[in-house]
A and B are shown apart, each in its own frame.
Chain A
Amino acid sequence: MRISTQQFFQLNMNSLQEHAERLSNTQLQLTRGEKLLAPADDPGVATRILGLEQRIASLQQYDRNLTQLESNLLTEETAVTQVHAVLDDARERLIDINNGVHSLADYQSFADDLTQMRDQLFSLANGKNASGEFMFAGTATGSQPFLRDASGAYIYQGNQQIREVPVAVNRTLAQGDTGYQLFVDIFNGNQGVSASVNPANSGTGVVGQVGPSQPGSYNGDHLRVRFTAPDSYDLINVTTATTVATAQPYTSGDSISFSGINITLEGQPATGDEFDFVASQRQTPFSMLDDLVNTLTATSSAPNDLAKLTNAVNRGLENIDAALEQSIGVRTRVGNRLQTLDTVRDANQAFDISYRTTLSELQDLDFTAAAARLADQQSALEIAQAAFVRVQGLSLFNFL
């Protein structure tokens, strides 16, 4: 083929350009450390890289959520453990009251102890977490969850919702428990039956064990044992206004079963004394401790007052057991959540590593290969330049 001089220069320029372009691409890849300089280099890989980057970013957010969640759960666990310890102390104190003979001054100091415990429980219930939010207010985290109103009643101001924190794709974990669950949702009495003693009782009758005779046998009616003589009582269903049985013989320590409940009575009731049994109701540990403190400060050393105190302490023990059970339940849930949190974190980390490995394979440059390619392309460019310079010097005119 005939080669014109212009053509000769153009062809050489084209090939030099091509070499320079390849060299600059390799150099850019090396400086950025990435295979792809633009999505057009490999659109399929570019979209996969975007997907992976998004998933890794989500995992990082989940990890931050987990850290925050863990801190909140650990704070809650500490608080619930404290609640449990205070309730345990109160329980011991009640057993102390029931064991042995105490002076009125002793009862006063017991009352002071229990007041302290109530205050401690109350302050725990209104505790804040590391972010300054009320821990046991549900999602109403801005206002104090428990208040004592002028009449001495305790009001739960929080709500029953709990914040869920996303910790993995389609997976959320509750950030805590509400004050309702820990302090309000506690039924007094035993297994649905709660006993009370008519304040007007003049005898020394004490209700010992209370409960349904079989699980589920009690239908929630208001039942009453009324003594018609110190050794004889009637069984009455107040709700239906019917008398179940009359003139039952009584000896101290008797176990009485009627209308689905089973109770034991001790001591010596007087004629006209009444013992009432109703369905359990929700009662906060604060108001329960308050009731005990009131009974303790009001008591005299008269036998019937002491019997009332023993009754109140027996009821208190039932209620504290229910509160303890509730706090154990909450603590177990917190523990379960912490365990789940660890599992989820491990899974997230495993995903993170696998995503990053894939991403690195797709995106990262093989530096050895790229460096070798750079040297290769550089020498190719140099040779092309040298050859061009040498060949362009060839001209017939040099010989004229």
Chain B
Amino acid sequence: MNNQHRLGMDLDGLLGGELFSIGSPLLTPAPGNTGITGLPVAVSDPAGLTAADYRLEVDAGNNYLLTNLDDGTVTNLGAVPAGPGSVPVVIDGLTIDLAPGAAVGDRFLLQPTRGMASSISLTVTDPRKLAAASPVAVSSGVGNTGSAELAGLQVIDSSDAAFTTTSGALTPPLLIQFTGAGSFDLFDNSNPAAPVLLEGGNVYAAGAELFPTAGGLDYGYRLQLTGTPVAGDSFQVDYNLAGTGDNQNLLAMVEQQNQGLLSAGSNSYQESYQQLVGSIGARTSSGEINLEAVGFMLEQSQSRQLAVAGVNLDEEAAKLLEFQQAYQAAAQTISAADTLFQSLLEVI
């Protein structure tokens, strides 16, 4: 989304910047580090990221070791560089700049994706800054008599020198001059009064890409014409400075909704979100089932335990009665014996 936004042009005629800002990986140094307390880590390939956390440490051999805390794999990233300057290493979608000066025993906790989602924020808040337009405009010459017309125009790299040399202009603006139905010359149209030839004798085929040309000219955009031109027909390629109502780049951004850009090209944003909800739902569901099963087991065990060790009041009452009666019976025996002794004593 950010990439597409950068290919567009906003209402002020400037190239689009970042639409969303994304937080950087979280790197926490251990309190006892003696060498360095941090080093630059950036996400270079979002598709390669994993959900794991890592431990980065310098071992006794003065090598940077990266331990994946999820599966325990240890990767030796290389020796601590002598410096000056750091050595970038790419691993799991991350670029880690191995900094010089690290001491043996320095440790860091690297959490590339923790807090990533909550740190995404919208950077474009001014509607004027939304790069809705395409920065390139193509117009056909008023003298054209052939049937050639613009079929397609896509900006693929707005960091090309054609866009960056002068802000708000193409360097160079181009003039496509047909020399026949199947060939055209390419001119630098910086001075429309005297265009300068860049490359002559290019081959034209209806619907084919004009760039990069046979001579290797490439200005960061793709252009297709269709129809049959005649010699003398011309097309001008300029910066789309007046295109305040243009929405080509916005259309391209909206189109991403339907494209499979995630999971190696098989899922759209929405499908990925659905998958996420589905898999969380499934895990929750299986968790609930487990909870229920464990709950039953607990109930059963408690039941068994209570059946053996628990107190039944009726049982106790019955026993109480039993003992009471036994006591009464015993008392009765004593009383009978007493009567017997009394009788005997009376007789004497």
A-to-B contact residues, CB < 8 Å: 1-8, 10-11, 14, 38-44, 46-47, 50-51, 54, 58, 133, 137-143, 157-161, 163-164, 166, 169-170, 172, 184, 192, 220, 279-282, 395-397, 400
CB-defined contacts of B308 to chain A, threshold 8 Å: 2
Q: B270 near A7 (CB under 8 angstroms)?
A: no
CB-defined contacts of A169 to chain B, threshold 8 Å: 258
Q: Which of B278, B280, B307, B317 contacts A1 (CB 8 A)?
A: B307
Instruction: Flag B294-331 by CB within 8 Å of A: 1 or 0 each.
Output: 00000100110011111111100110010000000000
Q: How far is the CA of A137 from the CA of B246 in the complex (A)?
A: 11
CB-defined contacts of A8 to chain B, threshold 8 Å: 312
Q: How far is the CA of A172 from the CA of B247 in the complex (A)?
A: 12
Q: How far is the CA of A267 from the CA of B309 in the complex (A)?
A: 133
Q: A51 near B270 (CB under 8 angstroms)?
A: yes
Given A7-B303, A139-B243, A282-B143, answer yes or no on A39-B310 (Cβ-Cβ < 8 Å): no
**B275 part of interface (Cβ distance < 8 Å):** yes
Q: A160 near B270 (CB under 8 angstroms)?
A: no
CB-defined contacts of B169 to chain A, threshold 8 Å: none
Q: How far is the CA of A143 from the CA of B243 in the complex (A)?
A: 9
CB-defined contacts of B258 to chain A, threshold 8 Å: 169-170
Min CB distance A287 to B, Å, is: 12
Q: How far is the CA of A157 from the CA of B243 in the complex (A)?
A: 11
Dominant SS among interface residues on chain B: helix
CB-defined contacts of A282 to chain B, threshold 8 Å: 142-143
**B342 part of interface (Cβ distance < 8 Å):** no
Instruction: Flag B140-173 by CB within 8 Å of A: 1 or 0 each.
Output: 1011010000100000000000000000000000
Q: A139 near B281 (CB under 8 angstroms)?
A: no
CB-defined contacts of A158 to chain B, threshold 8 Å: 242
Q: A281 near B140 (CB under 8 angstroms)?
A: no
Across the two chains, which residue of chain B brings its CB closest to A1? B307
User: Which of the segments B36-44, B102-110, B131-139, B181-189 contacts the partner chain?
Assistant: B131-139
CB-defined contacts of B89 to chain A, threshold 8 Å: none
Q: A166 near B284 (CB under 8 angstroms)?
A: no
Number of residues on chain B facing chain A (CB within 8 A): 52
Min CB distance B241 to A, Å, is: 9
Across the two chains, which residue of chain A brings its CB closest to B276? A47
**Total number of residue pairs linking A and B with CB closer than 8 Å:** 147
Q: A166 near B245 (CB under 8 angstroms)?
A: no
Given A5-B311, A6-B310, A40-B288, answer yes or no on A163-B254 (Cβ-Cβ < 8 Å): no
CB-defined contacts of A5 to chain B, threshold 8 Å: 310-314
B-to-A contact residues, CB < 8 Å: 133-134, 137-140, 142-143, 145, 150, 240, 242-248, 251, 254, 257-258, 270-271, 273-275, 277-282, 284-285, 287-288, 299, 302-303, 306-314, 317-318, 321
CB-defined contacts of B312 to chain A, threshold 8 Å: 2-5, 8
Q: A39 near B284 (CB under 8 angstroms)?
A: yes
CB-defined contacts of A14 to chain B, threshold 8 Å: 299
Q: A10 near B306 (CB under 8 angstroms)?
A: yes
CB-defined contacts of B281 to chain A, threshold 8 Å: 38-43, 46-47
Q: B150 near A160 (CB under 8 angstroms)?
A: yes
Q: A137 near B278 (CB under 8 angstroms)?
A: no
Q: B282 near A160 (CB under 8 angstroms)?
A: no
Beyond the given pairs A43-B277, A159-B240, A397-B317, 18 more chain A to chain B contacts, judged by CB atoms under 8 angstroms and listed by A's residue number, are: A4-B307, A5-B310, A10-B302, A40-B284, A40-B288, A43-B279, A43-B280, A47-B275, A58-B257, A139-B133, A139-B240, A141-B244, A163-B245, A163-B246, A192-B145, A281-B143, A282-B142, A396-B318
